[in-house]
Amino acid sequence: MTHEVKVHPLVSPWGRFGLYSFFIDAPEPAIVDTGIASSPVEGMIPELEKLGRRIEDVRWILLTHGHIDHLGGAQALWELTGRKAQVVIHEGDAPLLRSRRAHVDNYVQVRQQYLDNPNALEEQTQAANKVISGEMEPTLLVQGGEKLDLGGGVTVSVHHIPGHTAGSVAYVIDGQNDVFVGDAVQAHGAANGFPGYEDPAAYRKSLEYLRDEVGPNRLFLGHPYRDANGEPYEIGLDAERAREALQYSIDLESRIAAAARQCLKDGLQVTDSAYSPFEPVAEVIGYTGNPALEPSPFFTTLHGYRQEFEAAR
- Spell out the domains of the chain, with CATH numbers in brackets: 7-312 (3.60.15.10)
3-state helix, strand, coil split of the chain in percent (to 5) is 40, 15, 45
pLDDT of 313: 81
- pLDDT tens track for 3-36: 799 999 998 877 666 789 999 999 999 999 999 9
pLDDT at 35: 95
pLDDT at residue 230 greater than cutoff 90: no
The upper half-sphere exposure of residue 297, i.e. CA atoms within 13 Å in the direction of its Cβ, equals 23
Label residue 229 by pLDDT band (50, 70, 90).
Answer: confident
Q: Could you give the CA distance from residue 26 to residue 147 in angstroms, rounded to a whole number?
A: 15
Angle in degrees, 0-180, between the axes of helices 200-209 and 297-312, rounded to the nearest 10: 100
Average pLDDT over residues 81-100: 98
pLDDT score for 15? 66
Q: Which residues contact 213 (CB under 8 A, 6 or more apart)?
A: none
pLDDT per residue over 111-144, tens digit each?
Answer: 999 998 999 999 999 999 999 999 999 999 999 9
Confidence (pLDDT) at 281? 97
Nearest to 180 by CA among 190, 167, 170, 189: 170
How far apart (Å, rounded) are the C-alpha atoms in residues 28 and 42?
23
Residues 6+ apart with CB under 8 A from 52: none
Residue type, 97: L
The alpha carbon of 119 is separated from its chain's Cα centroid by a whole number of angstroms, namely 26
Mean pLDDT (the chain, rounded) = 95
Taking the CA atoms of 147, 149, 153 and 159 in sequence, report the sign of the dihedral they define.
negative
